[in-house]
Amino acid sequence: MILRTAKKFYNRFFSKEKLLIGRMREIVGYTPCNLHLYKKAFIHKPELMDKYQSARNNERLEFLGDAMLGMAVGEFLFRKYPGHDEGFLTKMRSKIVKRKSLNDIAGQMELSELLQHYNPGVRISPSMLGNCLEALVGAVYLDAGYKYAKRFVVKRMLRGGYLDIKELETYDDNFKSQLLEYCQKHNRIVTYKVVNKFKQDKRDRFKVAVVIDDKEMATAEDFNKKSAEQSASHKALKTLGVLQVQKATA
């Protein structure tokens, strides 16, 4: 404990990583102890990466943060909604930890400043922000333990004004799920296929088509295949004339 306190004191007043420490105090609410963890959380993985480079970017922290985030959000929802069933809790957790939500939260936290600082010359995309946020959760967990990681998720992310939890209770923007339900109800078969995969900004980009009864209904592109499927489903629902803001089943 004494050594940890001494390291935090040194970091706050003598470390050269002034930008990192200042932003972490704003974002996570305390002075970091192991600065290398937080710095690594903002280092994006290169396009071509060998097994040794994986230890020098945020990919492994992202993996850990994803698991930690799911646990913390799950516990938060379990305590917040004692009268709701597993289906409702699962949908709520999915809406909170999905890529778009994390991208939005990270954007509001202005994590792009540190991403740009540690990745000069790299174009910062929304998905990089969400990945970075997951890695940051992992860094907090390794540096300060589960208690502080959960506090960061609940107090800073869920109750920090970045999400409207009440609105999420009733809003359902899972367009792929909506389209699947529509097709099942009307005895139609829906499938997805990657019609093109190409490089953009040195990253993989996917063009996905949604096909209903062997007819291509819509296509969409994104750096993430699942996100492209959601966008294509959104367009297909519009084409079918059945798109609406649906109520989530509680």
Q: Give catalytic residue positions.
A: 66, 134
How crowded is the C-beta side of 37, counted as CA atoms within 13 Å?
21
Cβ atoms of residues 91 and 249 within 8 Å:
yes
- How crowded is residue 156: how many other Cβ atoms within 10 Å of its Cβ? 19
Q: How far apart are CA 95 and CA 84, in angstroms?
A: 16
- The owner of tokens 């923007």 is 173
Q: How far apart are CA 112 and CA 91, in angstroms?
A: 29
Angle, helix 99-108 to helix 225-240, in steps of 10 degrees = 110
Backbone angles phi, psi at 199, to 5 degrees: -100, 135
Q: What is the DSSP letter of 245?
A: -
Cβ atoms of residues 201 and 105 within 8 Å:
no
- How crowded is residue 137: how many other Cβ atoms within 10 Å of its Cβ? 28
Q: Give DSSP secondary structure letters for 208-219.
A: EEEEETTEEEEE
DSSP-derived 3-state class of residue 189: coil
How crowded is the C-beta side of 136, counted as CA atoms within 13 Å?
27
